[in-house]
Amino acid sequence: MSTPPSPSSRPPVISAGMVLVDHLTPPIPRLPRAGELIAVDELPLNIGGGAANTSMALGRLGVPVSVSARIGDDAFGRFIVESLRSGGVGTEFITTDPKLPTSQTLIVNVQGEDRRFIHTLGANRGYVAADMDEAISTPPKVLHIGYFLILPQLDGAELARRFDRVRKAGGHTVLDVVTPGEGNYVEPLKQVLPHTDVFKPNTDEAALILGEHDPIRQARAFREMGARRVVITMGDGGLVSLSDENEVRMGAFPVPFVDGTGGGDAFNAGYIVGLLEGKSEMECLTLASAVGASCVREVGATPGVFRRHEADEFLARHEIPIERIQRV
């Protein structure tokens, strides 16, 4: 979208993958009947997708970051770029697909019912691993993928090659997923996980991938596929995290819950800050949990996310339950 910065001014983090816009209704009393109009006070338009949400959260935490993604040549694509820039996020590695529209989700909220989603994959359909080559030509300190498995052209072997390149240069790789229904997700994961430092699915995604519902067994299975650290998150149920060094169950920080959108993406941003600052695995998990919890206090993926000093103040005042897992 603009001239890439010189290598010396490259951001330490590249957040690659899915970007989209969400069209949201506030909670309406019921779905309109055919031909009926229901008036609401506002119909917000938000940006979403793992690459966008995690980069916006990093922006709030004061970390320079650029996004690698695809948008369409339309008003929604321009809205994404504008929103990212206003959040302090670099957009120089976002490319425009001349043929496909920007990815969009229509989110219909009916009072007392689960949200309904209507989605078009749009330009995300064409996102390939080679799209990130310019962004990682100077290897970043952290390459984050949000989200693997939902981007149909993001090939496991090709992504593995980019992860390998970043790691060989001393960087870290962080992988998040979204699983759009049943599918063969194990094969592409087996290609990428041996090159992944932090793998963070939520427990529902892990269950779809593995057919296994126990978070500890889920984490063990992904470790056996080669991931260095596996974090299985469970919303307000906290997480399970396994690595060579640590096997723990961690609770969640108590916060007033408003909207879960983007909690996992904000969690990733907190973890990435920990990696950049050379924090221990336990400190990374604690900071990530605090940032994830901050997100769900407000509507949307970004507005609630802590600034860096707010995260530190919160951590100084709150404790999170940590329990070592007994090895079997």
Ligand X SMILES: Nc1ncnc2c1ncn2[C@@H]1O[C@H](COP(=O)(O)OP(=O)(O)OP(=O)(O)O)[C@@H](O)[C@H]1O
Binding-site ranges for ligand X (CB under 6 A): 202, 233-236, 238-239, 252-253, 255, 257, 260-265, 267, 289, 292-293, 296
Pairing, β 116-120 against β 104-108: antiparallel
CA atoms within 13 A on the CB side of 233: 25
Distance, first Cα to last Cα, the chain: 52
CA quadruple 176, 182, 183, 185: dihedral sign? positive
Separation of alpha carbons 75 and 119, rounded Å: 17
User: Residue 233: what residue type?
Assistant: T
Candidate ranges 72-80, 218-226, 260-268, 271-279; the one touching Mg ion (CB under 5 A): 260-268
Name the residue nearer to ligand X (CB basis): 128 or 322: 322
Q: Least Å distance between CB 251 and ligand X? A: 8
Q: Least Å distance between CB 123 and ligand X? A: 21
* Closest among 138, 155, 157 to 5, alpha carbons compared: 138
* Among ligand X, Mg ion, none, partner that 235 touches (CB below 5 to 8 angstroms by kind): ligand X
Residue found under tokens 């169950």: 249
* Among ligand X, Mg ion, none, partner that 155 touches (CB below 5 to 8 angstroms by kind): none
Candidate ranges 66-74, 97-105, 224-232, 259-267; the one touching Mg ion (CB under 5 A): 259-267
Q: Least Å distance between CB 131 and Mg ion? A: 21
Name the residue nearer to Mg ion (CB basis): 17 or 264: 264
Name the residue nearer to ligand X (CB basis): 102 or 179: 179
Q: Least Å distance between CB 80 and Mg ion? A: 19
Q: Are 97 and 126 in contact (CB under 8 A)?
A: yes
Name the residue nearer to ligand X (CB basis): 72 or 147: 147
Choosing from 238, 264, 270, 292, the residue that interacts with Mg ion (CB under 5 A) is: 264
Name the residue nearer to ligand X (CB basis): 77 or 264: 264
Residues binding Mg ion: what is the number (CB under 5 A)? 1
The residues, any chain, with a CB within 8 Å of residue 196's CB and separated by 6 or more, are 163, 173, 174, 175, 226, 227, 228
Residue found under tokens 């959108």: 261
* Among Mg ion, ligand X, none, partner that 292 touches (CB below 5 to 8 angstroms by kind): ligand X
* Among ligand X, Mg ion, none, partner that 58 touches (CB below 5 to 8 angstroms by kind): none
Separation of alpha carbons 40 and 61, rounded Å: 34
Name the residue nearer to ligand X (CB basis): 10 or 196: 196
C-alpha dihedral (86, 88, 93, 96), degrees to nearest 10: -10
Q: Least Å distance between CB 176 and ligand X? A: 7
Q: Is 107 helix (H, G, I), strand (E, B) or coil?
A: strand
Separation of alpha carbons 121 and 278, rounded Å: 36
Q: Under the criterion CB under 5 A, does residue 171 sit at the interface with Mg ion?
A: no
Q: Least Å distance between CB 9 and ligand X? A: 30
Residue whose CB is nearest to ligand X in the complex, by number: 264
Name the residue nearer to ligand X (CB basis): 87 or 139: 87
Please name the residue ranges forming H helices in 211-280: 215-224, 263-276
Name the residue nearer to ligand X (CB basis): 136 or 150: 150
Candidate ranges 106-114, 262-270, 277-285, 306-314; the one touching Mg ion (CB under 5 A): 262-270
Q: Under the criterion CB under 5 A, does residue 270 sit at the interface with Mg ion?
A: no
Q: Least Å distance between CB 243 and Mg ion? A: 20
Triad 16, 18, 19: Cα angle to 5°: 105
DSSP 110: B
The residues, any chain, with a CB within 8 Å of residue 298's CB and separated by 6 or more, are 258, 259, 304
Residues that bind Mg ion (CB under 5 A): 264
